Amino acid sequence: MEDNWGFNLNNYRGLPHLYFLKSKSEKKDRELLSSVTSLDRGTPSERSLILQLLKSGIPSVTIFHDLIIKKDNDTFSQIDLILVTSEGVIVFEIKDFSGWIYGNGRHTNWTKVLSFGRKKYKFYNPIKQNNSHITELKKTNSQFENIPFFSVIVFFGDCELKEIDYVPKGTYLVKSHRVFEVLNAIKTENEPAQYKNKREIVDTLNTLVQLGENEYYQKQHIDNIKDMVGKERVYK
């Protein structure tokens, strides 16, 4: 059967059904995501990781997204994602990169290489970055001093972890499609953590999530980063 434009309509009869299935799947994803965070909060990669965790069966009450910690010097620390597990607290730093990644856990800056080596860019060592997040997080609840912490840096995008060394124990760098291998390693290689009051920890993390919703704190955090980088004080 053809319409007046010469298209064979039989080829398109399944499309409404496919559209319905896609819409139904997207609706389910939105509902699942909203059990942890807002649909527009954070980056697409952060939300993608949250969905991966939820779809694997990890309870939503153990996942905390976009937390802000007010530090002693009135600056802020922002954490992308936290997962509370039987073995301890996993703190995620999520990166969106393309190109080749080179780094040393002891160095301040790492290198991202694009265009087959023709372009190189420096970025702050994500191991040090996430370690500073964990340091500040531990100050928010006395229980954290006796609970293991794990730092997981997840790389989304078309990037390759080319040459990275001196990665500390308890720290993992991973492409997004291998996250569950890291979670399994943490589970199998560590003893259960000794939580004294799980409810108190959940309340602490939920408070930090609420601070992350505060527009004033968000703006202050961005301003603090700009001031720390100090590009406006460079006159070329």
- Alpha-carbon Rg of the chain, whole angstroms? 21
The phi and psi torsions of 98 (rounded to 5 degrees) equal -125, 165
Q: Which residue spans within the chain are E strands per DSSP?
A: 63-70, 76-85, 88-96, 99-104, 109-114, 119-124, 149-156, 159-165, 171-175
**SS3 letters across 165-183:** ECCCCCEEEEEHHHHHHHH
CA-nearest of 212, 232, 236, 220 to 42 is 212
pLDDT attached to residue 2: 41
pLDDT, tens only, 162-207: 999 999 999 999 999 999 999 999 999 999 999 999 999 999 999 9
pLDDT, tens only, 84-108: 999 999 999 999 999 999 999 999 9
Taking CA 205 as the corner, what is the angle to CA 200 and CA 206, rounded to the nearest 5 degrees? Answer: 95
> Given phi > 0 = left and psi -120 to 50 = alpha, else beta, which region is 6?
left
Host H or E run for residue 87: none
Q: Out of 25-29, 37-41, 83-87, 114-118, give the one with best mean pLDDT.
A: 83-87
Non-local CB neighbours of 200 within 8 Å, separated by 6+ positions? 141, 143
Which tokens hold the place of 160? 């390759």
pLDDT attached to residue 14: 57
- The domain limits of the chain are 41-229
